[in-house]
Chains A and B, each alone.
Chain A
């Protein structure tokens, strides 16, 4: 290591122009809405104005993104940028998995959904051997037991648990 630049992160060039342009456009749009989305209170001091801090934040953002764009070597989006933007869309599939899991838990229950989610996603990711699928199921059970059973985090019981007989129902609603 010879320079401090060796430990500095290097900003990726591909996609940067599109990101900065989009961020700057969003910031300018928000700044244009400041009079509608914030209030100026008559008689209140400058620092006590509800509009003051959003204005400071937006001005800093506009300045930062704007000057960064101005200092960029290449500002016109190219094919590399478009390829990178397509890569940004790749995780959308897993966001759908995540949100599907979120909506299913109150209906099916945390334990069954966690096991199903872990095993199905492991399968989808290409780990098809039995050992990995069992490992995924064990991990899901461990998460449920640790967080809901032992640490008592607030995840409500599922509608499906109501169908269980009276004995296990309480246990399932409370711990699983």
Chain B
């Protein structure tokens, strides 16, 4: 109770309240504009928050992070274009509802499910705090190293179908983090005798380039789309009544959101997928999923809104960001000399409780704002792409130039913007680069500290948490290798013409072909034996 009161004391300041309001309203508006998203907004605002108090700066950023997904549901449901990447699943059931003229019902369901997910995760966070406060001090250097390594492994494994390239890009991030003066021996690494490389790559510059500038370049080179919003009927409050009829779906989905949010490197996509598939399995009408099912919409929205609060757990308790947005927030902590990790729980619990309460208030603010301003927010989806690109380009300048008024930083950001543009064009992931950069730095420092006390390899994992983390890494790697092995298909490099002609020939020949194939194999085998002289 005392902690709650001290948390309220931290929040009871006009600047924190303004930050809450700006963060929540700004986040919803940013989420409602397809093509911006929280990563771009946070990257741009990050340098501006450095001059603010840590609680004020973090409240703005948390506000944007937590509320953008609420706003992202609006274009996902009404125009079939997700406002943020994580609202993609909402289009599956939201847009068919809009086509049936039930757009307002779908929005209402999305808001109520998101609200439940957001509040559920904050309540879980508050309930877990005493446990975290006990467990966090047990994390020494080797445990933090292993947790960071687990984060890297998970972020690579989570990119199913792109694991190799995600791994390579995570390596690229680690390499970027090592460039410049090395902190212990003060030797130069990959500076090529250039003075501007001696201080290395600033995380904010890289993040601004990869997220904000690349998005601006993408929008500037796009065509504008004509957007028409279909008419819809119903009340924005009916979703709350409907949500009460699906307690199991919404609770399980929010639970998946919390669980996946807590694990570094996993995040919203996995949470959404798991909650959506489990909701379909539990549903009495699984065939309606993907065709305007209210349960599907509830599952995806509850899961993705439960993630932000849960994603703060590894960041606050261990100082390990689980995704790009929390990695950006980590830099706000560092700028203000607030070191997230076990010490934060031991000595600044009021700060942590204040953050939880801010998240709780934020969800209420966002919901009230959405209920009164949805009609106005729909207009934001109509901003032309290229005009939006111009706006982001101007804002990106503010973000990069205000760090240290350096044209070199701007040039670096432009180069990373081009790299990000190419990656986005190729549909390749950007998050592994940022996480590699942040977690690589943490791993380097912690491994060096840990190795001072390690004499045999077993010493590294002789503590329970270290052993559990090590076992988790081995299990994840083992299961991934096993899955890849089982699903292994040799690469078919025949040209499409050759492939179709062979298929056609087989179809013409019918079952004789198979017989012919077998005979060929037999002949080949015999010939091989002959060659070997058998």
**Given the complex, which residues of A lie within 8 Å of B192, measured CB to CB?**
37
**Given the complex, which residues of A lie within 8 Å of B40, measured CB to CB?**
none
A90 to B389 CA separation, bound complex (whole angstroms) = 14
Q: Which of A5, A47, A50, A59 contacts B447 (CB 8 A)?
A: A47
Q: Does A102 contact B (CB under 8 A)?
A: yes
Beta-carbon contacts of B447-458 to A below 8 Å, as 1s and 0s?
A: 110110000000
Contact A125 B220 (CB under 8 A): yes
Q: Which of A16, A68, A102, A147 contacts B164 (CB 8 A)?
A: A68
Q: What's the minimum C-beta distance from A66 to chain B, rounded to whole angstroms?
A: 9
Contact B168 A63 (CB under 8 A): yes
**Given the complex, which residues of B lie within 8 Å of A59, measured CB to CB?**
171
Contact A117 B394 (CB under 8 A): yes
A97 to B389 CA separation, bound complex (whole angstroms) = 13
A11-B162, A39-B185, A50-B182 known; A95+B217 contact, CB < 8 A: yes
A135 to B387 CA separation, bound complex (whole angstroms) = 10
Q: What's the minimum C-beta distance from B447 to chain A, rounded to whole angstroms?
A: 5
Measured as residues with beta carbon below 8 angstroms from the partner, the interface class of chain A is 35 or more
A contacts with B: majority SS: helix
A14 to B221 CA separation, bound complex (whole angstroms) = 18
Q: Does B135 contact A (CB under 8 A)?
A: no
Q: Does A60 contact B (CB under 8 A)?
A: yes
Measured as residues with beta carbon below 8 angstroms from the partner, the interface class of chain B is 35 or more
**Given the complex, which residues of A lie within 8 Å of B161, measured CB to CB?**
5, 8-11
**Given the complex, which residues of B lie within 8 Å of A46, measured CB to CB?**
451
Q: What's the minimum C-beta distance from B231 to chain A, rounded to whole angstroms?
A: 26
**Given the complex, which residues of B lie within 8 Å of A56, measured CB to CB?**
171, 174
**Given the complex, which residues of A lie within 8 Å of B429, measured CB to CB?**
9
Identify the closest chain B residue to A11 (Cβ).
Answer: B427
Contact A88 B187 (CB under 8 A): no
**Given the complex, which residues of A lie within 8 Å of B390, measured CB to CB?**
118, 121-122, 125, 136
Q: Which of A21-68 contact B (CB under 8 A)?
A: 23, 27, 30, 33, 37-39, 41, 44-48, 50-54, 56-61, 63-65, 67-68
Nearest 9 A-B pairs (CB), nearest first? A64-B168, A60-B171, A91-B217, A57-B175, A57-B174, A61-B171, A153-B402, A68-B164, A39-B187
A-B contacts, 29 of them at CB < 8 A, read A5-B161, A11-B162, A15-B426, A20-B165, A33-B190, A50-B185, A51-B189, A52-B444, A53-B178, A54-B178, A57-B178, A60-B167, A60-B170, A61-B172, A64-B168, A65-B164, A68-B165, A73-B491, A91-B218, A91-B417, A94-B389, A95-B414, A101-B397, A105-B397, A132-B387, A143-B394, A154-B402, A155-B398, A156-B405
A residues whose Cβ falls under 8 Å from a Cβ of B: 1-2, 4-5, 7-12, 15-16, 19-20, 23, 27, 30, 33, 37-39, 41, 44-48, 50-54, 56-61, 63-65, 67-68, 71-74, 84, 87-88, 90-92, 94-95, 97-99, 101-103, 105-106, 114, 117-118, 121-122, 125-127, 132, 135-136, 139-140, 143, 147, 151-156
B residues whose Cβ falls under 8 Å from a Cβ of A: 47-48, 51, 88-89, 92, 160-162, 164-172, 174-175, 177-178, 182, 184-185, 187-192, 213, 216-218, 220-221, 269, 272-273, 276-277, 289-290, 384, 386-387, 389-391, 393-398, 401-402, 404-405, 407, 410-411, 414, 417-418, 421-422, 425-429, 436, 440, 443-444, 447-448, 450-451, 491-493
